[in-house]
Structure 1
C-alpha cells in the first residue's frame, strides 16, 4: 500500500506537473489525485457505464501493489472516477498504462490497439485475457447536444448522454477485430467442429456468455 501511494504521488507530480492539482488529499491515505471536470448539470440519460460506484481495486502493474476503492467509468469525460470513501467527492488518476481498475467481471485499462478500423488509443474493459484469445470492449460516449428553445412556446432540451459498447476480439498477433454480441460473429471466427457443437448447445447473448464460450475454446482447442 505504501509503495503504491508513493508511486501515485510522484507520478502525478512528474508526469502532469503542468496540470491543475486538487488542493484536497485523502486524509487516510495521502493519495494525491485530480478533481475531474464536471459533467453538465442538466442532462438526460447517463455518461456512465456503471449505474453507481462499484467496489473495485486499483492496480499498479509496475509495483504489483493495489488499492481498494469505489469506481465507475465516465465515458463522456473519459475517466475512471474514484472514491476512497463513499461520501467523498469523486476524483481521478492520470491516464497511465500500468494503472488498471478491476471491477468484478472486467478490468479497465488504457492501451493503443491495432484494429480493423485502425489504431485506437482509449480506455478498454478487459473481459477475457487468455493464451489464445482476448476479448475487450471500448465504451464510446453518445452525446446529443442541448437545444435552446427558439420561441416562448417551446422548452429548452437538455443534452442527452449515453454509452455504446464496441467489442473487439483478438486471436493472433494482438490484432483486434470488431464484433457484435451476436452468435454469428463468433461462429465466423471459431469454426472447429467442437465449437460448432458448442454454438448448437449454447446461446450467445451477453458478455458473460462470450467469456464462457472463450473459456471453453481455450480448454478444448489446441
Structure 2
C-alpha cells in the first residue's frame, strides 16, 4: 500500500519508478493512461465507476483531494485518464497520484480494459517573444487562459481542455525560423517510433543535443516542432 497520509510534490521519475503503475506515462501535462474499449458503452461504464474512486487514493467514499482528481476523456475507442494537481501554487504530480493511479488501473482490469501507451500524448504551443510581459497578456485574454502556478511563462486552460501555451524568451530578433512551434509530449517508450514516422514522411532532425528528453524536428519547409519526453526510467 502506498502511503497517502501526507501529500508531497513529486517529479516524473518518482512516478515511473513506483511499482504497479506500468499502465501510466508521464507527459507534459501530468501522468496519463489510455484504456482501449470495444464500445462507447464500455467506456462510459468505466468512467461511471471512476466516480467511486476517491480522489485522494484512500479508502471508500469521496476523497478530499479534489485538485488531485482525474481528468477523463471518453471517446468511442477508449478512455484517456490524466492525473495532475492544479492549485494556486503548484502544477504537477503529488504522492496522492501514486495510489490513485494504481486504483484506476485495478478498476480498468476489473472492467476488462487494457492500457495502450501509444494512445498517450499531449501538445503544447510554444511562442518565442522578446518581451513576455507585453505578449503574454494578449494571448491570455484571447484564449481565456490563466497563468500556470509557479510560472510567468506558461498559460493553461482553466477548463483543462485546450493545449497549454509556453512563452520562450528571445535575446534578440530572429529571422529565418518560425517563432511559433508545437511541442509534442509522448511516452518515453514511444518517442523513437514517433520521430521515425515524422522522418519517414520528409521531416528532419534539427537538433538532438538534449536527447533522449527532447528533439527538435522540422518539416520539409523548415517549420519546427519538438518531441519531448518526461522522466524516462534511469534519467
Q: TM-score range by the shorter chain?
A: under 0.3
- TM-score under structure 2 length normalisation: 0.26
Higher helix share: 2
Higher strand share: 1
Q: Report 1 or 2 for greater relative contact order, CA contacts < 8 Å, sequence distance ≥ 6.
A: 2
Choose 1 or 2 for highest CA Rg: 1
